[in-house]
Amino acid sequence: MTTTELSIKRRSFLKAGAAAGAAALASALTASTPARAAVRGIELPAATTEPTPFQIHVPQAQLDDLRSRLANVIWPNKEPVDDWSQGVPLASMRELTDYWRDHYDWRRVESRLNSLGQHRIEIDGLGIHFLHIRSKHANALPLLMTHGWPGSIVEFMKVIDPLTNPTAHGGRAEDAFHLVLPTLPGYGFSDKPTTTGWDDARVARTWNTLMVKLGYQRYVAQGGDWGACVTTALGQQQPKELAGIHLNWAFVFPKQIPTSGLLPDEEQAVRDVAQFREKEGSYYHQQATKPQTIGYALSDSPVGLAAWIYEKFHSWTDSGGKPERVLTRDEMLDDITLYWLTDTAASSARMYWENQGDLYAAGQVNVPAAVSVFPHEIFRAPERWTRDTFPQLVYFNKVEKGGHFAAFEQPEIFVRELRDGFRKMRA
């Protein structure tokens, strides 16, 4: 290990790829005005200061347009290598595109979202989309869960029922949660900010306001990727309603990494970040520096958008480089299609631009915390650094399998970790 590798700071990592997060959201919502908002022709209710329930119905013309674009792709020439070292192979992209065009059914996921209880609300001048699913069990613990990039609320579809209805999934009634699943600003059916300043700290304040407006006087929060950044910021702000947090990706690098005395898991974390910077960080640099530029390409080409996201499913899942081993094509396309239909490529990428500084400049996070370490995460949080960052750490566990998209890839393990991690925070 070189001295250069050991000198990686949190800020350096963030500028290389800390929060995996943005690629397919451009001209989305303006629902904080009295008029109804529209995204690629999708009618959304105007966001008001009280939650407004609504149903999604994507116009058939938009689905027809997508299918037409998928039938008229201008393909690049084939890569001169026989692996993914230059990006998504042409054959893999053609295969995914053919399936998307000929077999994928958006109405299936649309129906599922509509069955869950969708709402929009205006907070801090922005229309926020969220799902609100209450458990039937008495004394369920309110849980705020935040997605990342290139994820969405779709990541959580497989864990909603086990978390809210644990007795039907091998759990106990006392394991139950009420769920609030907001969509990040600039993503999905939340509004696209038209001014700067929507960093993770502002989103965290917005989320606490949301929970208070929903009547929750005590709640816990969870996140991975950008969701972990927002959840950590929430922990740093320490609103009186917050009882604790759980992270499935804890960014715990010290401000200056020592050049000696590192434990084996700390040395491995440094190597992982160096590898990420060298091999996987280009998307981050583009989105953090010129999100508008990449937005033109991704907003105009569904295949370009799909390749941008599919590459991350390949690299960041615990699948041996074959994401279909842990996610079906339909599941990946649910996420990709949500990005496409909400036309939000540039706006989601701007979250990187907003967060180029040191996300953790505030120092330690002094609320009860639980951390689950998944083996194929971009880097795995060392326990000593985790305890330094979270002095009130009540749970730390390294799980047996899973990657960056923990809830999406390994829903049973993810549910188990949340049940165990939050158990001491229920009292």
Question: What amino acid positions are annotated as catalytic residues?
Answer: 225, 352, 404
Tell me the helices (H) and strands (E) count for the chain, helix number first. Answer: 17, 11
Alpha carbon distance 281, 17 (integer Å): 5
Radius of gyration for the alpha carbons in the chain, expressed in angstroms and rounded = 20
Torsion on CA atoms 134, 137, 139, 141, rounded to nearest 10: -40
Which residues touch 56 (CB under 8 Å, ≥6 apart)?
42, 110, 113, 114, 118, 189
User: Beta partners for 146?
Assistant: 223
**Tokens 């201008």 sit at which residue?**
74
- The helix (H) or strand (E) run that includes residue 396 is strand 393-398
Alpha carbon distance 58, 319 (integer Å): 32
Find out whether 120 and 44 touch, Cβ atoms under 8 Å: yes
- The helix (H) or strand (E) run that includes residue 180 is strand 177-182
User: Beta partners for 129?
Assistant: 120
- The helix (H) or strand (E) run that includes residue 126 is strand 126-133
How would you classify the pairing of strands 118-123 and 126-133?
antiparallel
Alpha carbon distance 190, 122 (integer Å): 10
Alpha carbon distance 254, 267 (integer Å): 13
Which token pair is 391?
Answer: 């002095």
The 10 Å CB-count burial string (b at 16+, else e) for 15-39 is: bbbbbbbbbbbbbbbbbbeeeebeb
Alpha carbon distance 110, 185 (integer Å): 20
